[in-house]
Amino acid sequence: MLLLLFRSNRPPSSSGARPMTGARGQLGTSAGRPAGTATRLTTAMNPGTARPGTRGGAVAGGLALNSQVNVVDRPTTQQGLGGMKTAARGRRQVMDKTYFLGLLRSKLNDLNGEINNLNKDIENTNDENSSFLTYDKRAEVLAGEIRDLQAELGDYNILVDKLTIDEDIQDVEFDCNNLKAQNDRDSKKIEEMFEVKKQKEEYIAQLEMEIDQEKRMADNLVNDMDPKLRQKYQKLKTLNDHLLKQTEIGQQELDQLNSKIETLQEDLSMSQVKQEAVRLYEQIHELTSKRDSLIEESKQRGSPAEEREKLLKQVKEDNQEIASMERQIKEINEKIESLQDDINQYDMDIEENQGEKNQKYKELRKREETMDEFLDTFEDTKAQELKRMTELQGAIVNSLEHVSRNMGRFGSLPTPGELATMKDDLAFKEDEMKKSETTTIGLASERDKLEQDLKKLDVMEEKLHAELAVLKEKSVTMQRDLVIYSDLDKLKEQAEEKKQKLQDDRVILQKRREAFKKHIQQMTAKYEGLKSQLNDNETYTQLANLERKWQHHEQNNFSMKEFIATRTMECDYRPLSKQFYSMMDEYNQILQDKLAGKKGM
Amino acid sequence: MPAVIRAKCIVVGDAGVGKSAICQLFTSDGSHFPKNYTLTMGAEFMVKPVVIPDTQDTVEMYMYDSAGKEIFTDMVMKFWDHPSMMIVVYDVTSETSFSSCEKWIERVRSQKPDVPFPGALVANKIDLEQRRIVGPKAGKELAMKTGLDYYECSAKEMQNVDTPFYFLASEYYKLYQEKVELFKAFVA
Amino acid sequence: MFDLALSEAGAQIILATSSDDKYPPENMIDGKDDTFWTTCGLYPQEFIIKFTSLVSINTIQISCYNVKKLKMEVSSDDNQAFKTLAEKELQPSDSAPQSEEISGRNVKAMNLRVVIESGYDHFCAVYKICVHGNAERS
């Protein structure tokens, strides 16, 4: 569609071009056509190009008012006769008015169709837009509804929670009131803040007004100024502006560069390679600077003679400097000395003049100081001294007493020789005392040992007594036995008697044994007979089998009963349930108390 | 020479209380405990001599381990003539066995109502503490009421099983001594 | 006629179911009243007296205590079985020994078997047993 239109826009150029080439289009025997249309049509009917005339062509092939195809007409090429050009893609061969009209019509139809489609699309989109708006509104409304419902749901949920927890209505009201209070507080805060904000805004408006006022005043001043001054002012102002801008730009650049530096530094700090690079760069820098300096040096070096001269000059200069400095120092020292001498002289003068007075003054001052000290510490020292005095008095009294006592003994004092002997004695006695002390310690330990031995001996004595008693008894019995045993004959007689009796008994018992044996034999024979009789009896064997089976069953029974009993005992939940109930009661009680206590607060 | 006196000891009680276990344990001197329950058919007969302490005399206990099942009662009662002593056993985990003790005592005593003889009430299976229903107090009361001596034992743990037998043997021995004294008194 | 069941006469207790050393069965046939033989418990108890030779028994006198049921059997020879002579139930007497007399009807016997079937107490005693009869000349 668009291309066709494009083509229609271009007719002037194409019409200019095409006819020149002339025989490009396979014009049939069409004649008497207006140039415009011809040119247009040629462009339209160009099969050689890749124009989408195919579209139009195909359509045209179908819809155009085709006249019969003149087989006779031979298509001509640029150089004259050409080959038979067959129809390309079922298009019409003969391109005459009707064909082109047909084409045009088809194109028009297409265009119309497209326009209709577009219109429909537009309408659709418009409808959709409008419907979208309505939907949007509805969505908003619904969202609002949803919000409300959600709030309701939330309220209901809270209610359900409160119900399941069995919370008191008082608690609920309490919470409600809390929330209300909180809300009031918050709203108040918000109002306050709003007020503050308003105030601030007013303040800002005020300030702005002031600023404007000032500005106007400044302007007035400027206007009132001389024109020259004004110019200057203007120039300065513009300069100021310019500079400000520059500073701004410069600041921005600076910030950028700073940020860049920071990032680069971060990167630097992260990457070790870069750090190394930095180090190496620094090294390079150092070395280059060194090199430069060395190069400069070498440049400046010149020949050794010059060097020597230079050095000598330098040395001379330095020496001169040193000398001068030394002189200065000397002078200063001399000055110092002279001043000191002056000072001393002055002092001496002062002393001479005021020698005595000064000394007296000094003495007086010293005395004053000591007196002040004394006064300060007077009390303390007084107390101390008093104490000392009393102590000393006491000591004196004691010593006096002592002395008086000793005086009494004076007569009996021994001579030094005697004193010496007494001292010897004393030393000797001391030694003895020490020795005796050690001996007492040893004796004490020995005493302990001996006491223990004594206890042991007591115990042994008791044992011995007991043994003695036992032995006495034994001896008595032994005596008796002795008497008995000493009487050998009697013993012999007794033994004989016993032997006889035992023999008799033996005989009797043997007889009895035989009788018993016989008896037993009879009984066992009877018993065996009965047993065999029993075993022969079928009923008995059957009974025995049944009995055995019964025993087996009873065993199973019993073991199962035992098993059941043990298991029921294990599964016995009753004590556990009792425990549980009691614990639950306790717990409930505690909870109740706690809640009651809380409310009471 | 040591004298031997013989006593007929009847062991009675409900089925499954542990009579055979006690008897077998006592007879084997505490080595054999029948782990599996074997139904005693009729009565089991066992002999065990018991030496009386401080003497050289022995009491031979002729034990008639009777069946506890009711079916056997009539049969078993035939063995019970002239008992010298009796042991009634019950299970502490079974209330029924305890309540039927009196019944057993009556049955045995009816055999020889005139002559009193020593007896013991034995509470068995005390190792099953958790399943214990009958307390020692109840047992002691019943023993006092019926004129028996109360003993607790556990055949499984081999605990205290010999005590009632020894006690009964010494009682019987005392009885014998008394009788002999009585006999002597007639002629003296 | 004299007491055959005397140890002096040669009678012997060849079998006794109880034997306490202090009161042996010989006490029954020693002819003394103050010695006795005790049973050691259990019933039935028995003892067998063997005579020196075949005798004919006239009466048997027994002095005992606590005996309830008594049975007498005789056998003329050692290998022969015992034949029941008599069965008697004695009356209980608390203060004095029981005394019973059983007629022998002159039965010929070599051994006399006395069975104490039951007693009034756990133990019983036999003080004396006298068998009056004559010795038979076989």
Planar angle of CA C32, C35, C40, nearest 5 degrees? 140
Q: Which pTM was predicted?
A: 0.48
A353 half-sphere exposure, CB direction, 13 A CA radius? 5
Round to whole Å and give the CA distance between A30 and A41.
11
Contact yes or no for B188 and C34 at CB 8 A: yes
| Confidence at residue B73, expressed as pLDDT on a 0 to 100 scale | 85
Give domain status of residue A340, yes or no. no
State the average pLDDT over residues A281-301. Answer: 88
**Residue to substitute from C15, C48, C78, C114, interface A, most A β-carbons within 10 A:** C15
Which residues of chain C lie closer than 8 angstroms to A516, CB-CB? 15
Rounded-to-integer distance, Cα C7 and Cα C114, Å: 17
List of chain B residues whose C-beta atoms are within 8 Å of the C-beta of residue A555: 36-39
Q: Distance from first CA to last CA of chain C, Å, rounded? A: 17
Buried b (16+ CB within 10 A) or exposed e, A390-427: eeeeeeeeeeeeeeeeeeeeeeeeeeeeeeeeeeeeee
Q: What angle do CA B117, B119, B121 make, to 5 degrees?
A: 160
Among A553, A558, A564, A573, the residue to mutate for chain B (most B Cβ within 10 A):
A558
Q: Which of A519, A521, A526 has the most C C-beta neighbours within 10 Å, making it the best mutation to test the interface with C?
A: A519
Is A122 a residue whose pLDDT tops 60? yes
Q: Residue B186 is nearest to which of C23, C42, C97, comparing CB atoms?
A: C97
DSSP state of B79: G
Verify whether the Cβ–Cβ distance A515 to C48 is below 8 Å: yes
Using a 10 angstrom Cβ sphere, with 0-12 exposed, 13-18 middle and 19 or more buried, the burial of residue B16 is buried
Same domain, A172 and A126: no
Domain ranges of chain C: 2-135
Number of domains into which chain A is organized? 4
Asked if the C-beta of C13 comes within 8 angstroms of chain A's C-beta atoms, the answer is yes
Q: What ranges in chain C are assigned the alpha helix state H?
A: none
| Residues of B in Cβ contact (< 8 Å) with A559 | 36-37
User: Is pLDDT at A58 greater than 60 in this prediction?
Assistant: no
Whole-angstrom distance, CA of residue A117 vs CA of residue A229: 75
Question: Which residue out of A508, A514, A517 would a mutagenesis test of the C interface target, given it has the greatest number of C Cβ atoms within 10 Å?
Answer: A508
* A313-329 pLDDT per residue, tens: 999 999 999 999 999 99
Residue numbers in B near A551 (CB within 8 A): 38-39, 41
- Smallest Cα distance from A473 to chain C, Å: 29
Q: How far apart are CA A515 and CA A529, in angstroms?
A: 21
Check: CB of residue B13 under 8 Å from CB of residue B90. Answer: yes
**By three-state DSSP, how is residue B120 classified?**
strand
Mean pLDDT to the nearest integer, C17-42: 80
Two tokens, residue A495: 């033994």
Contact list, C26 vs chain A (CB under 8 Å) = 508
Least confident of A60-64, A232-236, A514-518: A60-64
- Cβ distance of C118 and B81 shorter than 8 Å: yes
**DSSP letter at C102?**
E
| Subunit contact A515:C26, Cβ cutoff 8 A | no
Contact B36 A559 (CB under 8 A): yes
The domain in which residue B122 lies consists of: 4-187
**Residues B131, A555: C-beta atoms closer than 8 Å:** no
A209: left (phi over 0), alpha (psi -120 to 50) or beta: alpha
| Chain A interface, Cβ < 8 Å to C | 508, 511-512, 514-516, 518-519
Whether B8 sits inside 8 A of C42 (CB atoms) is: yes
Quote the mean pLDDT of chain C: 80
Number of domains in chain B: 1
Residue showing tokens 């150089």: A79
Q: State how beta strands B58-66 and B4-13 pair.
A: parallel
DSSP state letter for A122: H
Domain assignment present for residue A482? The answer is yes
Place of tokens 């050691």: C40
Q: Can you give the pLDDT at residue A81?
A: 55
C110 touches chain A (CB under 8 A): no
Region A397-416 average pLDDT: 79
Which residue from C minimizes the CA distance to A517?
C15
Residues whose CB falls within 8 Å of the CB of residue B79, separated by 6 or more in sequence, listed in order? B10, B43, B64, B66
Of A547, A554, A569, the CB nearest to B130: A569
Instruction: List the structure tokens of A306.
Output: 């010059």
Convert the pLDDT of each residue in B74-86 to its tens digit.
888 888 888 888 8
Residue type, C25: P
Which letter does DSSP use for residue B158 in this model? T
C interface test, pick of B183, B184, B186, B187 with most C CB neighbours within 10 Å = B183
Interface contact C34, partner B, CB < 8 A: yes
> Helix H segments across chain B?
19-27, 73-77, 95-99, 101-111, 136-146, 162-187
Q: What pLDDT shows up at residue A86?
A: 56
Task: Let me know how long chain C is.
Answer: 138
Q: Which residue of C has its CA nearest to B114?
A: C120
- Among B26, B64, B67, which residue's Cα sits nearest to residue B164? B26
Cα C59 from Cα C109, distance rounded (Å): 12
CA torsion, points A463, A468, A471, A472, in degrees to nearest 10? Answer: -150
Percent of chain C with pLDDT over 90: 0
Name the helix (H) or strand (E) containing A187. helix A169-224
Q: Is B179 on the interface with C (CB under 8 A)?
A: yes
Does the structure show a pLDDT above 70 at A67? no
Q: Rank A46-50, A580-584, C15-19, C133-137 by mean pLDDT and report only the highest.
A: A580-584
Closest-CA distance, B72 to chain A, in angstroms, reads: 12
The token duo for B42 is 């009729």
Q: Measure CB to CB from residue B38 to each of A551, A561, A565 and give the nearest one.
A: A551
Question: Are residues A547 and B41, on separate chains, in Cβ contact within 8 Å?
Answer: yes
Q: Which of B105, B89, B100, B87 is nearest to B154 (CA)?
A: B89
Task: Name the most confidently modeled range: A85-99, A386-400, B16-30, C53-67.
Answer: A386-400
Looking at residue A205, what DSSP letter applies? Answer: H
Nearest Cα residue in chain C from A509: C14
How many contacts, defined by CB atoms under 8 Å, are there between B and C? 72
pLDDT of residue C15: 81
According to the per-residue pLDDT averaged within each range, which of A84-93, A434-443, A519-528, C74-83 is highest? A434-443
- What are the Cα distances from residue C11, in Å, to A505, C22, C52? 14, 20, 6
Chains contacting C (3 or more CB pairs within 8 Å)? A, B
| Interface membership of C20 toward B (CB under 8 Å) | yes
The interface pTM score, or ipTM, of the predicted complex is 0.81
| Chain C environment of B178 (Cβ under 8 Å) | none
| C contacts of B114 (beta carbons < 8 Å) | 120
Q: Is residue A223 in a domain?
A: no
Q: Confirm whether A357 is domain-assigned.
A: no
Same domain? A113 vs A198: no
Chain B CB contacts of C99 under 8 Å are none
Q: How far is B114 from chain A (nearest CA, A)?
A: 32
For residues A182 and B127, which has the higher predicted lDDT (pLDDT)?
Answer: A182
Q: What architecture does CATH give domain C2-135?
A: Sandwich (2.60)
Among B144, B169, B181, B171, CA closest to B61: B169
Sole residue written with tokens 């055999």: B111
C36 touches chain B (CB under 8 A): yes
Residue with tokens 């002795």: A482
Same-domain status, A54 and A6? yes
Q: Which chains touch A (3 or more CB pairs under 8 A)?
A: B, C
Q: What is the pLDDT of residue A32?
A: 41
**Token pair of A155 as six digits:** 């309220």
The answer to whether B127 and B162 are in contact (CB under 8 A) is no
CA distance A63 to A55: 12
Q: How many residues does chain A have?
A: 601
Domain extent at residue A26: 2-137
CB A512 within 8 A of CB C15: yes
d(CA B100, CA B14): 7
Distance from CA of A532 to the nearest CA of C (A): 22
CB contact B47 to C (< 8 Å): no
Cα C111 from chain centroid (whole Å): 10
Touching B (3+ Cβ pairs <8 A), the chains are A, C
- CA closest to B36 among chain A residues: A555
The alpha-carbon gap from B94 to the nearest alpha carbon of chain C, in Å, equals 34
CA distance to partner chain B, nearest, from residue A487 (Å): 26
Summarised one tens digit per residue, pLDDT across range C90-117 is 888 777 778 888 887 777 888 888 888 8
Q: Quick one: closest CA in A to C16, which residue?
A: A512
Residue finishing a domain among A216, A251, A285: A216
Question: How many residue contacts between A and B have a Cβ separation below 8 Å?
Answer: 22
CATH number for position B139: 3.40.50.300
B115 touches chain C (CB under 8 A): yes
B131 contact A CB<8A = yes
Report the alpha-carbon distance of residue C130 to residue C57 in Å, rounded.
10
Confidence of residue B33 (pLDDT cuts 50, 70, 90): confident
**CA pair distance C31, C129, nearest whole angstrom:** 8
What is the spatial distance between Cα A168 and Cα A525, in angstroms, rounded to a whole number? Answer: 98
User: How far is the C-alpha of A243 from the C-alpha of A459, rounded, in Å?
Assistant: 126
**What's the sign of the alpha-carbon dihedral A389, A391, A397, A403?**
negative
From A216, A251, A280, give the residue that closes a domain: A216
Among residues of chain B, what percentage have pLDDT more than 90? 0
Across the interface, do B38 and A555 touch by the CB < 8 Å criterion?
yes
Task: Give the 3-state secondary structure of A401-435.
Answer: HHHHHHHHHHCCCCCHHHHHHHHHHHHHHHHHHHH
Tokens of A286: 């150092």
Give the chain A residue whose CA is nearest to the CA of B130. Answer: A569
List % helix, strand, coil for chain B (3-state, nearest 5): 40, 25, 35
Query: Do B58 and B2 form a contact (C-beta atoms < 8 A)?
Result: yes
A481-499 in b/e burial notation, b at 16+ Cβ within 10 A? eeeeeeeeeeeeeeeeeee
Burial of A516 by CB count in 10 Å (0-12 exposed, 13-18 middle, 19+ buried)?
Answer: middle
| Run of H or E residues at C130 | strand C125-135
In this structure, the strands spanning B43-51 and B4-13 are unpaired
Give residue B4's pLDDT.
83
